[in-house]
A and B are shown apart, each in its own frame.
Chain A
Amino acid sequence: MALQDTWTKKDLTGIADLTRAEIEFLFTQADGFLPALAPGKGLDLMRGRTVVNLFLEPSTRTRTAFEISAKKLGAEVVSINTTASSLVKGETLRDTAENIRAMGVDAIVMRHSSAGAARYLGKALDISVINAGDGAHEHPTQALLDAFTLRKHFGKLQGLKVTILGDILFSRVARSNILCLSKLGAEVTLAGPATLVPAALQEAFPQVRIIHDLKEALTDCDAVMLLRIQHERQTTTHFPSLAEYTSQFGLNAERAAWLKPNTIVMHPGPINRGVEVESEVADGPRSVILEQVHNGVAVRMAVLHLCTRAISR
């Protein structure tokens, strides 16, 4: 059954703003873009358009994925890498963005250390704004590519049990995934140390289950999503040391044996090998980490196409 084309949004600032129908329509678009990922292939849906990657926080993977996605659609891409703090010294975000817009740009893909920054920019500008991560708020394209990958593996997300393990408190990936997976009918379990998976998350996201016992969190799930332990965000008060984290919550082969046979292991990258996951698991048969990366390009192509199309319509 062909899904109805319901997409009218010029921005993608968070999963919170999307309906299930919009997400599913976006997936059909992404499906259609997968063949274009082959070497030597590409499309010209965005020929003549310009996308600016405004990355105000360090990122290689997401920025590259967005660049490739835009190029596969035939768009021109300019990437700006700086830090929000150096921006603040001279110019406000609004001024920077309005200058970029004045140069005739069609879309800004932004990563920013401040939660809410993408929504702020989306309201300020009449061109597309795509959130590539705003502080600890959302990272919507990551969640979309994760859900897209799960859908490829299991056919549907309805009733699927997904455990998200690690630093939930500071993670935008976790927030977007909680929202995205729930909207698509999956059951989400959050696991990790109590300081990084505080009880108040239950109130914020009533649909999730919170578990601090690793074995219990792993035995029943269809997929486990590992989150990067971010040294730069956690102060020493949230857990004693990386070694302590690994000893309590790191995923190694022994613990992976608790998983059901068909359970897959996901990670948004970049991986801290030996911290949240051992290489034998990251590179093992359960791992779909590189599939996630591959699908990420198709999903971001769909996002760029649909959002910029919404303006020309």
Chain B
Amino acid sequence: MNPHDPSPLWLHGARVIDPATGRDEPNSDVFIRDGVFVEKLTAEEQTRARKINATGLVAFPGLIDLNCRLGEPGQSARETILTGTLAAAAGGFTTVVTMPDCKPALDNVGTLQLLREICARDARVRVLPTGTLTKGHEGKALAPLGSMKKAGVVAVTDTTSGVQNNEIMRRALEYAAMFNLVVLDHCQDSSMTEGAQMHEGAWSLRLGLRGSPRAAEEIVASSDCVLAELTKARIHLQHLSSGNTADIVRRAKSRGSKLTCEVSALHLLLNDGALENYDTRLKLNPPLREESDRQKLITAVVDGTIDAICSDHSPCTATEKDCEFDLAPFGAASLETTFAAAYETLVLSGKADLPLLVARFTTGPARVLNLPYGTLKAGASGDVVLFNPQTSWTVTPATLFSKSGNNPLNGRTFQGRIQQSFVGGQQVFSVS
């Protein structure tokens, strides 16, 4: 990492996009002084500023990821805070929200403090931890939400375990609401997905793999709508995979529900046909579903039903994924490729413009957790990225900072690349 540079930062000549203010200006400037955005620099400050010629590039707020795993504590063979946040920076993410299903689980203040110590030492971007909703994310007894909130969790979730019991979920929601904690819910009725390896459909039947039906997600998403109304708690649905779930959220929102939701870029890019050759890197939970789901999810991103696009970065070692499909762990590494994948799916395809895409990575996730980031407004933390839409690049191990070995887009060529990332005005990534 470069040593801290106290001089002001001046990005000059970029197209500047800030969805929070509706700003989209060609050939414009971004100024950062003392770690925060400012409207201008004095003549004296300009002379000693680090001036970056950003002609031909696009500047927008550093991206926010609502769903990733960074290995530590406990799974440093897969990822570390250092490698994970380097990967985040390379992907344009300057704020990442981490899942609590590390080992040991983040269900207590002590483990949380351990994570914060590691982050203070190693993190290159802002890491916002979540805690579990129940102890050990076992869905039985509530975790100490109040103490964890005080110790810095930004939300609570049982992640892929999900809470299967409606009574426990109801009480958890009521209790979390008291602390203004958003509950992130991975929607999966596990009674319907025992042994499931992929989406239940034509491909699972051809491949002979156990399928996870859409209904397993839709049932829980539906009950979340009901429970959100009952408890007045804030629920955020994680990584939608079924097109029908997007319809369920759309209907809830139209009735005034504060429900929010996200989708991973991989679910926007690929469908279940990608599993034709049993690529274990694409074994995801929730699974990649059918093309009709993918199209519905894209529509829901564009119309705002889906608030945020996330990475759902779930690092595994290459060895863990080098096995029979049934035995491989779920999850894909994706931090470095998420924005590029979403850019291809939405912008290059003509389905959305760049400001809308940036909004789903900035204002959208910021609103979900009421975060002060994701904007270039004066006074906000100087988190900004420079994106080069002209360049194409091929994902190779050399372009990946993540320690993991399970990025399924390795080898793929993308148009448009994050060129530089800054956190508080300090450079955390630059294409070499």
Instruction: List the interface of chain A (C-beta within 8 A of B).
Output: 16, 84, 88, 92-94, 112-117, 119-120, 134-138, 169, 172, 175, 198, 200-201, 203-205
| Pairwise interchain contact A112-B201, C-beta atoms closer than 8 A | no
| Pairwise interchain contact A120-B324, C-beta atoms closer than 8 A | yes
Q: How far, in angstroms, from A114 to B210 measured CA to CA in the complex?
A: 10
- When distances are taken between beta carbons in the complex, the residues of chain B under 8 Å from A175 are 206, 208
Q: How far, in angstroms, from A201 to B202 measured CA to CA in the complex?
A: 7
- When distances are taken between beta carbons in the complex, the residues of chain B under 8 Å from A92 are 319, 322-323
| Pairwise interchain contact A135-B205, C-beta atoms closer than 8 A | no
Q: How far is the CB of B316 from chain A (nearest CB, A)?
A: 14
Instruction: Decide yes or no whether B229 CB sits under 8 A from chain A.
Output: no
Contact of A116 among B200, B205, B278, B319 (CB under 8 A): B278
Question: 7 closest Cβ contacts across the A-B interface?
Answer: A137-B208, A116-B278, A136-B208, A114-B324, A204-B205, A115-B208, A204-B202
Contact residues, B180-226 vs A (CB, 8 A): 197, 200-203, 205-210
Q: Total interface residues on B, using CB and 8 Å?
A: 20
| Pairwise interchain contact A119-B277, C-beta atoms closer than 8 A | yes
- When distances are taken between beta carbons in the complex, the residues of chain A under 8 Å from B52 are none
Instruction: List the interface of chain B (C-beta within 8 A of A).
Output: 197, 200-203, 205-210, 277-278, 319, 322-327
Q: How far is the CB of B318 from chain A (nearest CB, A)?
A: 12
| Pairwise interchain contact A137-B207, C-beta atoms closer than 8 A | yes
Given contacts A136-B208, A137-B208, A204-B206, contact A112 B324 (CB under 8 A): yes
Q: Which has the most chain A C-beta neighbours within 10 Å: B197, B208, B278, B325?
A: B208
Given contacts A137-B208, A138-B208, A172-B208, contact A113 B326 (CB under 8 A): yes
- When distances are taken between beta carbons in the complex, the residues of chain B under 8 Å from A136 are 208-210
Given contacts A115-B207, A119-B278, A204-B202, contact A94 B322 (CB under 8 A): yes
- When distances are taken between beta carbons in the complex, the residues of chain A under 8 Å from B322 are 92, 94
Q: How far is the CB of A277 from chain B (nearest CB, A)?
A: 24
- When distances are taken between beta carbons in the complex, the residues of chain A under 8 Å from B205 are 169, 198, 200-201, 203-205
Q: How far is the CB of A278 from chain B (nearest CB, A)?
A: 29
| Pairwise interchain contact A203-B201, C-beta atoms closer than 8 A | yes
Q: How far, in angstroms, from A151 to B203 measured CA to CA in the complex?
A: 30
Given contacts A88-B327, A94-B323, contact A116 B207 (CB under 8 A): yes
| Pairwise interchain contact A115-B202, C-beta atoms closer than 8 A | no
**Which single residue of chain B is at the shortest CB-CB distance from A119?**
B278
Q: How far, in angstroms, from A287 to B202 measured CA to CA in the complex?
A: 33
| Pairwise interchain contact B324-A116, C-beta atoms closer than 8 A | yes
Contact of A114 among B200, B201, B319, B325 (CB under 8 A): B325
Query: With A115-B208, A137-B209, A205-B206 given, can you name 17 additional A-B contacts, CB distance below 8 Å?
Result: A93-B323, A93-B324, A112-B324, A114-B324, A115-B326, A116-B207, A116-B208, A119-B278, A120-B323, A120-B324, A135-B326, A136-B209, A200-B200, A200-B205, A204-B205, A204-B206, A205-B205
Q: How far is the CB of B291 from chain A (nearest CB, A)?
A: 12
A-B contact pairs, 5 of them (CB 8 A): A92-B322, A94-B323, A116-B325, A134-B208, A135-B208
Q: How far, in angstroms, from A175 to B208 measured CA to CA in the complex?
A: 8
Q: How far, in angstroms, from A169 to B204 measured CA to CA in the complex?
A: 10
Q: How far, in angstroms, from A136 to B198 measured CA to CA in the complex?
A: 14
- When distances are taken between beta carbons in the complex, the residues of chain A under 8 Å from B203 are 204
| Pairwise interchain contact A115-B325, C-beta atoms closer than 8 A | yes
Q: How far is the CB of B408 from chain A (nearest CB, A)?
A: 16
- When distances are taken between beta carbons in the complex, the residues of chain A under 8 Å from B209 are 115-116, 135-137
Q: How far, in angstroms, from A112 to B207 measured CA to CA in the complex?
A: 14
Given contacts A115-B208, A115-B209, A137-B207, contact A203 B202 (CB under 8 A): yes
| Pairwise interchain contact A200-B208, C-beta atoms closer than 8 A | no
- When distances are taken between beta carbons in the complex, the residues of chain A under 8 Å from B277 are 119
- When distances are taken between beta carbons in the complex, the residues of chain A under 8 Å from B327 are 88, 114
Q: How far is the CB of B279 from chain A (nearest CB, A)?
A: 10
- When distances are taken between beta carbons in the complex, the residues of chain B under 8 Å from A204 are 201-203, 205-206
Q: Which has the most chain A C-beta neighbours within 10 Å: B197, B205, B322, B323?
A: B205
Q: How far, in angstroms, from A88 to B327 measured CA to CA in the complex?
A: 9
Q: How far, in angstroms, from A116 to B323 measured CA to CA in the complex?
A: 10
Q: How far, in angstroms, from A94 to B318 measured CA to CA in the complex?
A: 13
- When distances are taken between beta carbons in the complex, the residues of chain A under 8 Å from B319 are 92
- When distances are taken between beta carbons in the complex, the residues of chain A under 8 Å from B197 are 115
- When distances are taken between beta carbons in the complex, the residues of chain B under 8 Å from A169 are 205
Q: Which has the most chain A C-beta neighbours within 10 Å: B278, B322, B324, B325?
A: B324
Q: How far, in angstroms, from A117 to B328 measured CA to CA in the complex?
A: 12
- When distances are taken between beta carbons in the complex, the residues of chain B under 8 Å from A119 are 277-278
**Which single residue of chain A is at the shortest CB-CB distance from B278?**
A116
Q: How far, in angstroms, from A120 to B327 measured CA to CA in the complex?
A: 12
- When distances are taken between beta carbons in the complex, the residues of chain A under 8 Å from B201 are 200, 203-204
- When distances are taken between beta carbons in the complex, the residues of chain B under 8 Å from A172 are 208
| Pairwise interchain contact A117-B324, C-beta atoms closer than 8 A | yes
- When distances are taken between beta carbons in the complex, the residues of chain A under 8 Å from B210 are 136
Q: How far, in angstroms, from A120 to B322 measured CA to CA in the complex?
A: 9
- When distances are taken between beta carbons in the complex, the residues of chain A under 8 Å from B202 are 200, 203-204
- When distances are taken between beta carbons in the complex, the residues of chain B under 8 Å from A88 are 327
**Which single residue of chain A is at the shortest CB-CB distance from B290?**
A203
Q: How far, in angstroms, from A198 to B201 measured CA to CA in the complex?
A: 10
Q: How far, in angstroms, from A2 to B319 measured CA to CA in the complex?
A: 47
Q: How far, in angstroms, from A175 to B209 measured CA to CA in the complex?
A: 12
Q: How far, in angstroms, from A120 to B283 measured CA to CA in the complex?
A: 15
- When distances are taken between beta carbons in the complex, the residues of chain A under 8 Å from B207 are 115-116, 137
Q: How far, in angstroms, from A16 to B208 measured CA to CA in the complex?
A: 13
**Which single residue of chain B is at the shortest CB-CB distance from A56?**
B324
- When distances are taken between beta carbons in the complex, the residues of chain B under 8 Å from A113 are 326
Q: How far is the CB of B382 from chain A (nearest CB, A)?
A: 47
Q: How far, in angstroms, from A135 to B278 measured CA to CA in the complex?
A: 13
Q: How far is the CB of A90 from chain B (nearest CB, A)?
A: 13
Q: How far, in angstroms, from A115 to B205 measured CA to CA in the complex?
A: 11
Q: How far, in angstroms, from A169 to B206 measured CA to CA in the complex?
A: 10
Q: How far, in angstroms, from A163 to B327 measured CA to CA in the complex?
A: 34
- When distances are taken between beta carbons in the complex, the residues of chain B under 8 Å from A115 are 197, 207-209, 278, 325-326
